[in-house]
Structure 1
């Protein structure tokens, strides 16, 4: 994906892992992180909830664009995202995502078309399907 034309970059600093905090460089996001309630105290949000919120919001926006492109009256819609953290047989952790779309004013056949188009537009869907490039670098420190 070397031909990616950057439109926006969000930067969030997380400290302390699942029992820490996350804060965006803009200051508009500041959350206390916690292990999922089933595995910890639940006194905060966990990374899976943040991922689910981002994906659901992005997919809903992609649906609006898709409806416009397909010339479909979508009406009000809600996207619920569920992100499951799991362990694979080889011991690596993995995520699974489930999206539920509700658009009561849109005919089912038209809604299926909108959802299919939105799935090709949504960057979260594309990242999961195509494998988003990941780079990891170490912070430089003065010697």
Structure 2
């Protein structure tokens, strides 16, 4: 699969609402269709990463307790050489790890800690073209597979608690500024 040439739409087709961007296609006769945005009242952790070089073929570095410096590249199936990591891999790793932590916390809160002690979470993240023709470029789809925890209520609670699940389900505040 080769990526298609993206067609950039002018900003006039977008509506700024709050600190996010909504495409004009969300307007209907009754007004703007609203999607909730999860806002933070404080933060308990801050992470910073910087990307440099030729976009998805460049380099990314995170800062903090355990800095990470990676060479990035598009997957071979998306037109790259595949000789580096890609954002989808990193997203899948973060989502799987976060969901596992949420699963174990949900089990502990339900006094069923042993149900999730040996659980395993796999996150599949798909990069592809959006089905909706008005959206250019790529989109993501995520699938979470939980092994070793048979309790559906605990899995559902983990999905409600996991910050990755919340961001995908409820949206997240995104602020873009120029330095």
Q: Report TM bin, short chain.
A: 0.7 to 0.9
SS in 2 for 1:96: strand
TM, length-normalised to structure 2: 0.70
Contact map agreement 2:95 2:123 (CA 8 A) in 1: yes
Q: Shift of residue 3 of structure 1?
A: 4.5
Instruction: Identify the structure with bigger relative contact order (alpha carbons < 8 Å, sequence gap 6+).
Output: 2
SS in 1 for 2:76: coil
When Rg is computed on C-alpha atoms for both structures, the one with the higher figure is 2
In structure 2, how many angstroms separate the alpha carbons of the residues matched to 1:126 and 1:20?
29
Is residue 87 from structure 1 mapped to residue 129 from structure 2 by the alignment?
A: yes
RMSD: 1.4
SS in 1 for 2:74: coil
Q: Shift of residue 25 of structure 1?
A: 2.0
Choose the corresponding residue for 1:19, options 57, 72, 96: 57
Offset from partner CA, 1:14-70 (integer Å, 9 cap, x none):
112210111012362111101012121110110000000000000000001000011
Choose the corresponding residue for 1:132, options 160, 163, 172: 172
**Structure 1: runs of 5+ lacking an equivalent:** none
In the TM superposition, structure 1's runs of 4+ consecutive aligned residues that sit over 3 Å from their partners are none
TM, length-normalised to structure 1: 0.87
